[in-house]
Structures are given as structure tokens and as C-alpha cells.
Amino acid sequence: MTSPIADYLVESLLVLLVIVALAALVLIVARRAGLGQGRGLGSIELIARLPLEPRRSVYVVRVLDQVLIIGASEAGLSKLGELPESAVSALRGPEPSASFAAVLSSTLLRSPARSGKSAHEPASGVSSSAPPGGTP
């Protein structure tokens, strides 16, 4: 005979496992059906954003064939103006030539050479073997 507490724990764990399995099944079925995925709004594109203050920004947005300048604040959104399609390429600027990882690795590799010290030397003239002002 088992104790009532052990029976209660086993029953609770089995119910929990059944609930988790049902949740996973519902998630799989919903993904295959395409539910819960954001529908792409191909007709709206954010081109640029300029934050002015913590809660105020200016956005340049393409909606279908119009390029709009939108102001956003605590009071809501307001249309500030329109731009010609030719101005979009000037707003975007040049595409970056290298990825962030490539720029970071090249910067890290040449940083000791730029300072004239090896990566293992301390930056100041203090020796690393003894603490400043004391004995080792």
C-alpha cells in the first residue's frame, strides 16, 4: 500500500504531463495552420526614424506608392508631409560594406598595434607583479 501523499504527487505529475503534451500539440497544429504568425504588411515599410525626445519621433514611412513623414508624440500620430520617391535612396544612405562581426574582429586584431603595446602589457607604467604602493 502506498501513502495518500505519494498517490497525490503521482497523479498531479501525470496531469501536468498531459497538460504540457496537449499544449505542445496545440502549438504544433497552430504553427502548421499558420495561426499566431504576424501577417506581413508588404504595403507598409519603415524607411527612417529620428527620435527627438523620449516620447517624440519623426518617421518616414512608405505606404503603397506614397512616402509620408509622420510625427509621433504623446498626443498621437500626425502627418507632417510627403516626400517624392526619389528622396528615399538619399534617406537610406549607403549600405554597410561589412558585417558587425567583421568590423569588430578587425578592430580587436589591430588595437594593440595602434597603441604600441602588446595585449598583455598593462596600460599604465605600473608593473603588474606588485600592487601599487605595497609589497607583493
Domain around 71: 44-92
Task: Tell me whether residue 123 is in a domain.
Answer: no
| For residue 10, pLDDT beyond 80 | yes
Task: Tell me whether residue 97 is in a domain.
Answer: no
Tens of pLDDT along 25-51? 999 888 888 776 655 556 888 888 899
3-class SS at 60?
strand
Count of structural domains within the chain? 2
Task: Tell me whether residue 55 is in a domain.
Answer: yes
- Paired with 49 in beta bridges are 59
Same domain, 29 and 63: no
pTM score, whole prediction: 0.42
Tens of pLDDT along 82-103? 988 887 877 766 666 667 777 7
Same domain, 52 and 83: yes
Q: Which residues contact 55 (CB under 8 A, 6 or more apart)?
A: 73, 74
Same domain, 51 and 88: yes
Same domain, 48 and 22: no
**Mean pLDDT value of segment 75-87:** 89
